[in-house]
Amino acid sequence: MDDKEIIWKCRRGTKELDMLMTGFYNKYYKSASKSQKDAFIKLLSLEDPVLYDLILNKISSKDIAVNEIADMICNMNLRDD
């Protein structure tokens, strides 16, 4: 999946998810490992309610890498420092 497609998939149904997914892409995606990039792309394929639940740790994925990315997004600081 190319960068334009990933950025497009970061656009979600709510502003909050848009900010979280785009924020992760902008801050971490370029320097992420291959497995982290793959896990992020898996997250992007999920429906918004499932994505919310993963990020808020209400559910967990069978894929440990997906859980790690969801945790990174949950703990991400979106402020400009």
Q: With beta carbons less than 8 A apart as the criterion, state whether 65 and 38 touch.
A: yes
CA distance 77 to 79: 6
The two tokens of residue 66 are 């997906």
Angle in degrees, 0-180, between the axes of helices 15-28 and 3-10, rounded to the nearest 10: 150
Domain spanning 3-75: CATH superfamily: Flavinator of succinate dehydrogenase (1.10.150.250)
Q: Which residues of 36-47 are buried (b: 16+ CB within 10 A; e: fewer)?
A: bbbbbbebbeee
Q: For 13-50, write each residue's pLDDT tens digit.
A: 899 999 999 999 999 999 999 999 999 999 999 999 99
Q: For 48-80, write each residue's pLDDT tens digit.
A: 999 999 999 999 999 999 999 999 999 987 555
Domain boundaries, the chain: 3-75
